[in-house]
């Protein structure tokens, strides 16, 4: 009975009802379209990073600030933090076997440095990788020329975009085998390493940030990052142990005579020969096994099975990692600035939508108050016939809820039509940042059932909140007011 009466009242007051429904519908459509864009951006960005760079979860050493794959996630103090190593890497890697949700994992050392080639210098983000497992984890890495890095091999792979920029600046085409010089700076000076170009590749993810990334052998990355590789294979002889004798004096330690070398130098010492000597010593100081089987790493990157919940796995991992002073984070923290910025932008958009909704509520309240005052005779007559406050409240709330439901459905349908229209136009995206966020060069905006449900709920909540004050005004109308009118 109340429902039919509410429908009749909506039809009788169609002018006010249409205005109210229009306001709610427009706000709902804006909310739906905006969150569909952000949902698409989050989905595209997540897919790009998970398939190309971050995996689903990373494990890093616990610090005062969270670290992304190339530095701190706090921009203001980023320069004051260096990426720490996972000192308990071997123990953590052993524990990962107890998690059936983990499909595969790899390890990485990260370095920020400069690359010189053909008299052209540019900033570079180095991924020192475990070549045996890294490329299987990231299907978004596509080889264009040359070959993938091999375990124990010295070399570097650069993106097709960076290769094109170098050719444009220098006028020379990069060839496989071209020496690349990397320089990193620290408190104790500079570190310089030279390795050959082994491959040119591309990421399925777009953006200038991805072109800054260089995949390099972990031996060179550790040298540039000044990471010392721990080993238990050192053999100590009697001569070395004798130095620990506390009966020896300093004179006893240094009193051995070193015979002079009579062999003449085969060639004069030059800067190039010195660099070659020390660089070759670095290469020969340990086999490939010394660097790839244990050692020190900055991150462990995990890929989960499709059915696994990353939130639950992260919670279980962090419980396991507490004794090792390590922390598990999702892909968004691993990606850093752009992914976190997108989340903040969505929060700001929804905050803006909330302010727009508040303005809409105020406008709807004013319209409904006018409608209530115009219905004083009707409401007063109902009160005279014995209608309770509950009945009056239910009647008006039912009217506004029906209006909100119809407006919400209309707003969502309008949003869907707009999105389908935009998608059918195949609008190209020329901005690399936007293309990276939306996961493609063509503007395609999808919507999810969750967005539809949230938009519908927003329309219903908006209509209910706008009804509270007019309802309380209506229940104060007395039968005598109906007689006076």
> For 93-119, how does the pLDDT look when each residue is reduced to its tens digit (9 = 90+)?
999 999 999 999 999 999 999 999 998
Query: How large a percentage of the chain has pLDDT more than 90?
Result: 30
Q: Tell whether the model's pLDDT for residue 76 goes beyond 70.
A: no
CA distance 385 to 379: 10
pLDDT tens across 140-199, in order? 999 999 999 999 899 999 999 999 999 998 888 899 999 999 998 866 678 899 999 999
Q: Tell whether the model's pLDDT for residue 267 goes beyond 50.
A: no
Q: What is the mean pLDDT of the chain?
A: 79
* Predicted pLDDT of residue 230: 52
Q: For residues 115-144, give the mean pLDDT.
A: 92
Tokens standing for residue 283: 């290469």
Q: For the chain, how far is it from start to end, CA to CA, in angstroms?
A: 26
pLDDT tens across 283-340, in order? 443 333 333 334 589 999 999 998 778 889 999 999 999 999 899 998 888 887 666 6
| pTM for the structure as a whole | 0.68
* Predicted pLDDT of residue 243: 47
Q: Tell whether the model's pLDDT for residue 241 goes beyond 90.
A: no
Q: When comparing pLDDT for 473 and 350, which is higher?
A: 473
Q: Tell whether the model's pLDDT for residue 254 goes beyond 60.
A: no
Q: For residues 253-279, give the mean pLDDT.
A: 49
**Long-range pairs, 69-73, Cβ under 8 A, ≥24:** 69/108, 69/110, 69/127, 69/299, 69/334, 69/335, 69/336, 70/110, 70/112, 70/125, 70/336, 71/112, 71/336, 73/333, 73/336, 73/337, 73/340
Q: For residues 210-223, give the mean pLDDT.
A: 92
According to the per-residue pLDDT averaged within each range, which of 104-118, 218-232, 367-381 is highest? 104-118
Q: For residues 341-360, give the mean pLDDT.
A: 76
* Predicted pLDDT of residue 37: 80
Q: Tell whether the model's pLDDT for residue 473 goes beyond 50.
A: yes
Query: How large a percentage of the chain has pLDDT more than 70?
Result: 78
CA distance 175 to 387: 88
* Predicted pLDDT of residue 361: 82
């Amino acid at each position: 009975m109340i429902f039919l009466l509410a429908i009749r009242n909506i039809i009788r007051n169609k002018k006010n009802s249409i205005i109210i429904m229009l306001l709610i519908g427009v706000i709902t459509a804006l909310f739906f379209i905006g969150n569909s864009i952000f949902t698409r951006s989050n989905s595209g960005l997540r897919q790009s990073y998970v398939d190309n760079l971050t995996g689903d979860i990373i494990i890093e050493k616990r610090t005062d600030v969270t670290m992304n794959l190339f530095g701190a996630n706090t921009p203001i103090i980023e320069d004051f933090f260096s990426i720490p190593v996972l000192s308990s890497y071997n123990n953590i890697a052993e524990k990962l076997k107890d998690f059936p949700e983990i499909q595969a994992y790899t390890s990485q050392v990260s370095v920020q440095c400069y690359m010189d080639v053909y008299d052209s210098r540019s900033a570079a983000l180095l991924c020192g990788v475990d070549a045996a497992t890294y490329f299987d984890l990231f299907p978004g890495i596509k080889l264009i020329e040359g070959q993938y890095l091999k375990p124990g091999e010295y070399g570097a792979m650069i993106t097709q975009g960076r290769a094109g920029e170098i050719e444009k600046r220098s006028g020379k085409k990069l060839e496989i085998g071209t020496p690349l010089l990397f320089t990193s700076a620290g408190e104790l000076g500079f570190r310089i390493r030279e390795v050959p170009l082994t491959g040119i590749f591309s990421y399925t993810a777009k953006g200038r940030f991805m072109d800054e990334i260089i995949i390099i052998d972990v031996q060179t990355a550790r040298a540039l990052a000044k990471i010392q590789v721990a080993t238990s294979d050192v053999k100590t002889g009697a001569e070395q142990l004798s130095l620990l004798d506390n009966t020896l004096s300093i004179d006893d330690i240094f009193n051995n005579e070193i015979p002079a070398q009579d062999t003449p130098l085969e060639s004069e010492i030059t800067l190039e020969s010195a660099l070659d000597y020390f660089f070759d010593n670095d290469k020969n100081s340990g086999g490939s096994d010394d660097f790839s089987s244990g050692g020190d790493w900055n991150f462990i990157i995990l890929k989960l099975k499709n059915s696994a919940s990353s939130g639950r796995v992260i919670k279980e991992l962090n419980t396991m990692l507490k004794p090792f002073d390590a922390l598990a984070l999702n892909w968004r923290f691993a990606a850093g600035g752009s992914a976190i910025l997108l989340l903040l932008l969505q929060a700001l958009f929804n905050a803006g939508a909330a302010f727009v909704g508040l303005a809409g509520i105020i406008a709807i309240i004013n319209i409904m108050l006018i409608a209530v005052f115009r219905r004083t005779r009707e409401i007063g007559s109902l009160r005279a016939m014995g209608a309770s406050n509950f009945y009056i409240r239910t009647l008006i709330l039912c009217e506004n809820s029906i209006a909100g439901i119809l407006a919400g459905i209309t707003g969502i349908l309008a949003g869907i039509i707009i999105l389908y229209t935009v998608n059918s136009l195949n609008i190209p995206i020329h901005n690399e940042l936007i293309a990276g966020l939306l996961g493609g060069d063509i503007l395609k905006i999808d919507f999810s059932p969750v967005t539809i449900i949230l938009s519908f709920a927003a329309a219903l909540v908006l209509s209910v909140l706008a009804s509270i004050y007019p309802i309380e005004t209506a229940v104060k109308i007395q039968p005598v007011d109906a007689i006076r009118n």
